[in-house]
Amino acid sequence: MQKRYTTWNEYLRTNFGEKIFKVPIDAGFDCPNRDGTVAHGGCTFCTVSGSGDMILEPEAPIADQFAAEVAQFHKKWPGVKKYIVYFQNFTNTHAPVEVLRERFEQAVNQPDVVGISIGTRPDCLPDDVVDYLAELNRRMEVWIDLGLQTTYEETSDLINRAHDYETYVDAVKRLRVHNINVCTHLINGLPGETSEMMLENVRRMVLDSDIQGVKLHLLHLMKQTRLQRDYHEGKLQLMSQEEYVKVICDQLEMIPKEIVIHRLTGDAPRDLIIGPMWSLKKWEVLNSIDAEMERRGSVQGCKDVRISDLITF
């Protein structure tokens, strides 16, 4: 079924002419607001293993991780022959550029790799790292998965992001000078944020930064996180599926149609998640989003915030 928004798979098929696997890799990096560089404790929603809870063999060498993930994918899609490696866990530019080069080159030199996606923070992109990313971008497709999560400073402080919004805006500008693709991450359902604030996050992101992709996430409440305490103290209300679907559809209508939608919800290990439990039924959530967009008769960008004044706050 044709989606009413520009999907990551559609983008890849258009640009490469075939299905591409995105292969997650844990390269052993830490995060600056965990190791004391800018703060301690990490983001309040982050588990001790970061965002790589689903990686098959996070302790294995990079080449072995790559082989294991590809073998797993081929059980379902045996005909896929090209790959984008995804440095997913923690902050993958939080190291000297010599270290980044050594680890990234191990991955991009694996057979049939056509691109690299690097998850990082906007405060971990010094000039020498951006220069190396620009070099990579001349050799293959490069995406920087840039964690923003919220545009509100009060929320950022509450979840211990330890960087401000202007740092994000500046990071995007410096990457785009080199035509490096940027995919911004936002989380819906953060403590204290209303649905209106979630829409404002998208409006600011679109108007303030030249991005090529976006990942919209649901806040997952996970065991062994600082956010768990806030939840038990009544400081956090989890979104219902109906609330989440409505917000996502409202956000899709605001996002220009040329921006690729990499994700509309996330994955969480069943043994670690506290809630919302409905989020474990990922395809049901995605189908509900499709159904609501069809019910509205709307498509991505039909209320593009760059040209529309229909949305005011």
What pTM did the predictor assign? 0.93
Closest CA to 245 of 312, 291, 193, 213: 291
Structure confidence at residue 311 (pLDDT): 43
For the chain, list the strands marked E by DSSP: 21-25, 83-87, 113-120, 141-149, 181-188, 213-218, 221-222, 260-263, 273-275
Rounded distance between C-alpha atoms, residue 183 and residue 211, angstroms: 6
Tell me what the mean pLDDT of segment 160-188 comes to. Answer: 96
Could you tell me which residues come within 8 angstroms of residue 175 by beta carbon, excluding any fewer than 6 positions away?
125, 130, 133, 144, 146, 182
The model's confidence at residue 310, banded by pLDDT at 50, 70 and 90, is: very low
CA distances from 183 to 20, 98, 128, 278, 293 (A): 17, 24, 21, 26, 23
Does CATH number 3.40.50.970 belong to domain 6-294? no
Closest CA to 141 of 85, 89, 87, 99: 85
Q: Tell me which residue has tokens 């209106």.
A: 196
> pLDDT, tens digit, for every residue of 112-157?
999 999 999 999 999 999 999 999 999 999 999 999 999 999 999 9
262: left (phi over 0), alpha (psi -120 to 50) or beta: alpha
How do the residues of the chain divide into helix, strand and coil, expressed in percent and rounded to 5?
Answer: 40, 15, 45
User: What is the domain partition of the chain in residue ranges?
Assistant: 6-294
Tell me what the mean pLDDT of segment 236-246 comes to. Answer: 95
Burial 221-245 (b: 16+ CB within 10 A, else e): bbeebebbebbeeeebebbebebbb
Coil, strand or helix: which one is 173?
A: helix
> pLDDT, tens digit, for every residue of 35-74?
888 888 888 887 765 554 555 667 789 999 999 999 998 9
